[in-house]
Structure 1
Amino acid sequence: MVWLALIIAILTEVTATLCLRMASQGSRLWLIPVVIGYGIAFSMLAVTLHLGMTIGVAYGIWSAAGVALTAIAGRLIFKEPFTWVMGLGVALIVGGVLLIEVGGSKG
């Protein structure tokens, strides 16, 4: 259940961020899903923490997945650049989160 809550938090945060990009380029109506999406994302992050995941692990996974998914979606939807250096950065973020996860499970 904790992982489902975190996945929902990640997906709604990424969706809200993509809608924010749309709002910056066009209709301000896109701000409605931005507010709703961020509200759900933070609520589900709170549920994740309530269910027992540590804040360092939850926030690390949430932010790393958000960065990676948003960069990839930005490339696919908005034709934004995604260079090998950016890919390396995403890989380093993911690696850092994995180290936090492994280190947190040893305590």
Structure 2
Amino acid sequence: MTLLLLAIAIASEVTATVSLKLSDGFTKVIPSILVVLGYGSAFWFLSQSLKRGMHIGVAYGIWSAVGVAAIALIGVLFLDERLTLIQVGGIGLVILGVLALELGGEH
């Protein structure tokens, strides 16, 4: 259940971040509303994951790493952005750091 709540938090955060780009500095109403709703729900679902026992370092690490990777991929696929090899390597390092947090924790 905690992973499902975390997945919803990640999806909400990614939606909000893409909407932030599309809001054009909060000049477009619908994307601006999605920013507020998305970030609000992202933090609420993240808090529910934590409330149910997920460790904060692991939860935030997964949330941020998946969010960074998803936003970068969406930027490349849909927003005409580019990634350099160094940026791809950086995303890989973030993901490896999260894996180290999870695998290094007590089970």
TM-score (norm 1): 0.94
Equivalent residue, structure 2, for 1:81: 82
Q: Deviations over 1:67-87 (max 9, x none)?
A: 000011011111111121111
Q: Identity over aligned residues, as a percent?
A: 47
Shift in Å at residue 44 of structure 1? 0.3
Letter in 1 for 2:77: L
Q: Deviations over 1:16-64 (max 9, x none)?
A: 0000000126842111000000011000000010110000000000000
The SS at the match of 2:54 is coil
Unaligned runs of 5+ in 1: none
Q: Deviations over 1:81-104 (max 9, x none)?
A: 112111111110000000001112
Which region of structure 1 is more displaced relative to structure 2, 82-91 or 24-33? 24-33
Equivalent residue, structure 1, for 2:43: 42
Q: How does 1:1-107 map to 2 (within 5 A)?
A: 1-24=1-24, 27-29=27-29, 30-106=31-107
Q: Distance in 2 between matches of 1:25 and 1:82?
A: 23
Q: Distance in 2 between matches of 1:4 and 1:27?
A: 33
Contact kept? 2:13, 2:38, Cα under 8 Å: yes
Runs of 4 or more, structure 1, over 6 Å off, are: none
Q: Distance in 2 between matches of 1:16 and 1:47?
A: 18
Q: Distance in 1 between matches of 2:84 and 2:26?
A: 27
Unaligned runs of 5+ in 2: none
The SS at the match of 2:41 is helix
Aligned residues: 106
The SS at the match of 2:65 is helix
RMSD: 1.3
